[in-house]
Amino acid sequence: MTGRPSTEWQPTACILCECNCGIEVRLGVDGRTFERIRGDKAHPASRGYTCEKALRLDRYQNGRGERVLRPLRRRPDGSFEEIDWDTAIAEVSTRLRAVADAHGGGSILYYGGGGQGNHLGGGYSGSMLRAYGASYRSNALAQEKTGEMWVNSRMLGTIVRADFEHAEVALFVGKNPWQSHGIPHARTTLKEIANDPARTMIVIDPRRSETAELADIHLRVRPGRDAWLVAALAATIVQEGLVDEEFVAEHTAGFAEVEAALSAVPVARYCDIAGVPEEQVRLAARRLATASSVAVFEDLGVQMNRHSTLVSYLEKLVWLLGGHFGREGTQYAPSALAPLARIDTDRSASGGPRTPVTGSRIVGGLVPCNVIPDEILTDHPDRFRALVVESGNPAHSLADSPRMREAIGALDLVVVIDVFMTETARLADVVLPAPTQFEKYEATFFNFEFPRNVFHLRRPVVPAPEGPLPEPEIHARLVEAAGVLDPALLEPLWKAAQRGRAEFAAAFLDTMAAHPELGPFGPVVLYRTLGPSLPDGAASAALLWGAAHRCVAANPDGVRRAGFGDGLEAGERLFDAILDSPSGVVFTDDEPDESWRRVRTGDGRVHLALDELLGELAALTDEVPPGEDPQWPFLLSAGERRSFTANTIFRDPDWRRKDAGGALRIGVEDAARLGIVDGSPVRVTTARGSVVATAEVNEAMACGHVSLPNGFGVDHTDEEGHRTVTGVAPNELTSSDHRDPWVGTPWHKTVPARVEALPGEAPAVPA
């Protein structure tokens, strides 16, 4: 961005959760400070809504996080030196090539590619990886969503979201949308459901969360025992004859097997194990099966927990047996401008790719986060030797930080692309600095609205400092350094783009057809040829041109209804609308039954029977449920979303208006028994580690359950230039082998733990 920074209201979006609410920012006279922030009423999805966190975004842009402004290279003594970009790109390219030449491209792992607010740069990473023969990827989805993705791809062949705005019954399973959002205008929607006597909110959570407070039915499951509870819910629907038989006959396959398995579930005993009164479970099951519409959201409370994949499966059975798919107020399959993750086409349990060392299942193209250390800390010839991290902080956010640090330390090459000096960047060989998300064009592919789906290309609101380069430029330079692009092929495309989009489109299609070897580098080719012709320095948006055309091909009716016409012209119009809509644009407008057309199972039916998960269901009957080990009297939820947590996006603790130190929450009875009062220093010990925290006696906590917030334990530089860490990094306490047997997702919500009161004062926390 050039020229004087604007002091007008400028549209952009919040980068703190997947909702990406539209906001407007007004800079102070210094042209830098986010003096005021408000919801953007022109944003087609959020329509002016925000939560309190968005108003603190100045602390991301201008906070005390240690910003990296020049590429850094590690010296032999371990310290970093600044280098120029040419040196940095040459160094990374040469070393990646050396690793690939010696051990194959499969020895390079790419982690990240985007956080809660930024996926545009990561869209170019595929080109960079292919240039070095690399193919393995991982990111945060592979420690939360891959179980659900595996189940969805096999049952429905599509991702699924739910329409809470219109649902008669809302079910939240291990999800606290009051704090974590994840659905549009979460708090408004929750209040509307709570205030309407004809609608019902059901929450499954051991904690009386803010959402549970609003619920009509709070199924207060014992921590880690959701499998028994959700099995009892699904079984009640079958055993009480509440199945929507018409839906099942018309739309599904495999019901007989599921019916047999669920008929065998001892509902009363499973309710007892789950710690929830049987009558309450039956009431909830009846409501879920007979309501006109049910919307369901499962999240980390079960996805980062025991039996997570089984629970995802049983949760889907609950709404499928009630017939709640493809109608208003139920589950739907959204369109996509660019898909967030691959939908697996090999739907067999045994099929699909595996990791090179441990042979773990790769779901959605992602290596399970929890197996990464095992894929490195071995003498296996196919182990990972190089790691490229972009917009992620795996040394902090993945399970078992001590082991992750050891694994990262054992690699031949670690490259980190980030804005800040993070826990992971500090372990890197080369750090490549990027502008913040408000200094460049950005977008996310968290586009899940239905029927009117929304995409938002954000423009920069503040000028970037000299030094950092946007991620698309970094990837393009690395691709060029690999020598895989022939400039003589690109030059005519660049010239065609200068003459106009129609000429460019024809030239691009011809060139790509004549030179299939360019195919893998499509995004970078677009960036270098179409990119410079885009208005207002929007080169990073170039890949959206291809995405717009693919979106039209995949959803012609929805795109037409959104007003863009048909065919090639629709793709061009959609792309122009994206560039011209600084507050976001509706890109598809679907008919309600479009969801059925997105079901990709071969026969168009929902496949109800997943044999190996039915096997796990059967085995529950003999299993000893968690939470009864006298050595570990507590189950710790390591990483709870609170009003002032936002992963590790903010490094400056000043952004928090409350819970500055990130307290350990403990129930009233447990606290009394252990002599703990509010503010007591406590020691929390797990099999992996031991930390000191400050206690908060909290009435919402169940007996035997304690929780620590997520996003703490990161550092910033204080006024004197010292690094200060605030709060506990939850993964100092978690183990990477504590994971789901199918997809490797971690069991962070029920880490066996001990809690002791410590004598003396509470550790100092910033005010």
Ligand X SMILES: Nc1nc2c(c(=O)[nH]1)N[C@H]1C(S)=C(S)[C@@H](COP(=O)(O)OP(=O)(O)OC[C@H]3O[C@@H](n4cnc5c(=O)[nH]c(N)nc54)[C@H](O)[C@@H]3O)O[C@H]1N2
> Which residues make up the interface to ligand X (CB under 6 A)?
17, 115-116, 118, 140, 143-144, 173-176, 179-182, 204-207, 209, 221, 223-224, 226, 299-302, 305, 390-394, 397, 417-420, 422, 434, 436-437, 471, 637-641, 645-649, 710-711, 730-731, 734, 748-750
Cβ distance 247 to 327 under 8 Å? no
Is 416 a residue that touches ligand SF4 (CB under 6 A)? no
731 binds, among ligand X, ligand SF4, none (CB under 5 to 8 A by kind): ligand X
Interaction residues for ligand SF4, span 547-586 (CB under 6 A):
none
361 binds, among ligand SF4, ligand X, none (CB under 5 to 8 A by kind): none
Strands annotated E in 242-289: 252-253
**Cis amide leading into 223 (omega within 30):** no
Starting at the edge strand that comes first in sequence, how are the strands of the sheet with 200-204 ordered? 217-219, 200-204, 169-173, 294-298
Nearer residue to ligand SF4 within complex by CB, 34 or 110: 34
x/- site string to ligand SF4, residues 10 to 39, per CB under 6 A? ----x-xx-xxx------------------
Nearer residue to ligand SF4 within complex by CB, 14 or 415: 14
Measured from the CB of residue 37, what is the shortest distance to ligand X in angstroms?
16
Measured from the CB of residue 763, what is the shortest distance to ligand SF4 in angstroms?
28
State phi, psi for 655 to the nearest 5 degrees.
Answer: -70, -20
State phi, psi for 692 to the nearest 5 degrees.
Answer: -110, 135
Nearer residue to ligand SF4 within complex by CB, 88 or 300: 300
Strand pairing class (169-173; 200-204): parallel
Nearer residue to ligand SF4 within complex by CB, 40 or 696: 40
Measured from the CB of residue 714, what is the shortest distance to ligand X in angstroms?
8
616 binds, among ligand X, ligand SF4, none (CB under 5 to 8 A by kind): none
54 binds, among ligand SF4, ligand X, none (CB under 5 to 8 A by kind): ligand SF4
Measured from the CB of residue 567, what is the shortest distance to ligand X in angstroms?
35
Is 443 a residue that touches ligand SF4 (CB under 6 A)? no
Cβ distance 583 to 564 under 8 Å? no
State the DSSP code for 442. B
Determine the Cα–Cα distance for residues 436 and 442; give it in Å rounded to an integer.
10
Helix, strand, coil percentages for the chain (3-state, nearest 5): 40, 20, 45
Question: In 385-529, where does DSSP find H-type helix?
Answer: 394-397, 401-409, 471-481, 487-499, 501-514, 522-529
417 binds, among ligand X, ligand SF4, none (CB under 5 to 8 A by kind): ligand X
Measured from the CB of residue 298, what is the shortest distance to ligand X in angstroms?
8
308 binds, among ligand SF4, ligand X, none (CB under 5 to 8 A by kind): none
Closest CA to 504 of 549, 462, 467, 461: 549
x/- site string to ligand SF4, residues 152 to 191, per CB under 6 A? -----------------------------x----------
Nearer residue to ligand SF4 within complex by CB, 181 or 405: 181
How many beta carbons lie within 10 A of that of residue 719, not counting itself?
A: 7
User: How far from 123 is each of 138, 493, 546, CA to CA, in Å?
Assistant: 14, 21, 11
Nearer residue to ligand SF4 within complex by CB, 178 or 384: 178
Residues with Cβ within 8 Å of residue 539, at least 6 apart in sequence: 441, 472, 527, 531, 532
Measured from the CB of residue 15, what is the shortest distance to ligand SF4 in angstroms?
7
How many beta carbons lie within 10 A of that of residue 412, not counting itself?
A: 17
Binding site for ligand SF4 (CB under 6 A): 14, 16-17, 19-21, 50-51, 53-54, 181
